[in-house]
Amino acid sequence: MTIIDTAELTKTYNGRGGCRGITLQVPEGCIFGLLGPNGAGKSTFVKMLAGLHRPDSGRAAVLGRPLGQPEARRKLGYLPELFRFQEWLTAAEVLRFHGRLGGLSPRETRASAFRNRIRDTLELVGLSDAADRKVGGFSKGMQQRLGLAAALLLEPELLILDEPASALDPVGRYEVRRLLKRLRDKGVTIFLNTHLLEDVEELCDEAAFLYGGELLASGPLHKLLGGTGVGGNAGANWRFRLGGWLPETWAELNDAAGGSLSSLLNLVEADDGGNALLTAAVTDREQAGYLCSLFIRCGLTLYESGPERNSLEAWFLRMAESRRGGGSQ
């Protein structure tokens, strides 16, 4: 099922800025990253999805229903880019208030099931100890965690997060990444607007790139990166550091793989000590895992295997540069 489906969606501010003609599909159960430089139109697009901005033109459906319909909004969790909470309330009280905003009756928000839900949600975002503290005394990172808790509170099917980790320290970012992966595993679709490319690289199955209010590219991440030829070989997006490499190793690996290796794998460098760096254009993690098992079967030591670092950054810069070169701005 397509969870977000837009066609030529447009919103400008008195004819300026915003975003124009955005046609985008987000499949169910994925983490989708929205990328683009400052002022690209990302937040404008996200606000339309969340029902906060009315489009000037175009069509969109969220969770199978037209934008802004209460039925779809009930299944949607939203963390805005700029949030402010009632400083005089405690964290638990803020969430109870969000329960009311989400359509629960006063009785329902006082029920023990909902109190437990508040407790569990605060635990999910690492705020258990702060449940009864006033939000006015929270650090920015704690407030962002509370914002995430508010978005998660009513167990949404779609989570729209506008810069969810911008105020978090490295541990907080790691925890949020882990939480988002767990939610995806449970079937929640996550739409992520972020400048943190390492988060996109690690989390996102698909992504879109906005520039100057227009959509320049969208699709599965490995296809987007592959299309630009970023990396050691055309489309390389995975790297392996190996030990025990000998001059005859390549031929052995190729035999073990049935002769199909050169279209997939690229030997970037190998030294006399047997250390080798290889890159590959893999289509998914399973294919990277297959290569790892191949290396081990051939007696190599696998020191490192993971996404090619900075490939997304290189892609991002190229996309922005190509557009600037094209004189669109």
Q: Which residue is nearest to ligand ATP (CB)?
A: 17
Binding residues among 135-194 for ligand ATP as defined by CB under 6 A: none
Choice from 7, 8, 13, 52 touching ligand ATP (CB under 6 A): 13
Choice from 3, 9, 10, 18 touching ligand ATP (CB under 6 A): 18
Nearer to ligand ATP, 43 or 305 (CB): 43
- Are residues 197 and 316 in contact, defined by beta-carbon separation less than 8 angstroms? yes
80 binds ligand ATP (CB under 6 A): no
17 binds ligand ATP (CB under 6 A): yes
* Pairing mode, strands 276-280 and 265-270: antiparallel
- Which region, judged by CB under 6 A, interacts with ligand ATP, from 12-20, 71-79, 181-189, 285-293? 12-20
Distance, in Å, from the CA atom of 79 to the CA atom of 205, rounded to the nearest integer, reads: 20
Nearest approach in angstroms of CB 143 to ligand ATP is 18
Binding residues among 30-59 for ligand ATP as defined by CB under 6 A: 36, 38-44
Nearest approach in angstroms of CB 280 to ligand ATP is 32
Nearest approach in angstroms of CB 43 to ligand ATP is 3
Nearer to ligand ATP, 45 or 295 (CB): 45
10 binds ligand ATP (CB under 6 A): no
Query: How many residues in the shown chain lie near ligand ATP by CB under 6 A?
Result: 11
Nearest approach in angstroms of CB 47 to ligand ATP is 8
Q: Cβ atoms within 10 A of the Cβ of 137, count?
A: 9
Nearest approach in angstroms of CB 19 to ligand ATP is 7
- Which region, judged by CB under 6 A, interacts with ligand ATP, from 10-18, 86-94, 148-156, 181-189? 10-18
Nearest approach in angstroms of CB 212 to ligand ATP is 9
For 81, 185, 218, 313, 322, the CA distances from 228, given in Å and listed in that order, are: 30, 30, 13, 12, 11
Nearer to ligand ATP, 32 or 114 (CB): 32
Nearer to ligand ATP, 38 or 260 (CB): 38
Per-residue tokens: 264: 């997939």
Nearest approach in angstroms of CB 192 to ligand ATP is 13
- Collect all residues with Cβ–Cβ distance below 8 Å to 181 and sequence separation of at least 6: 31, 203
Contacting residues toward ligand ATP, per CB under 6 A: 13, 17-18, 36, 38-44
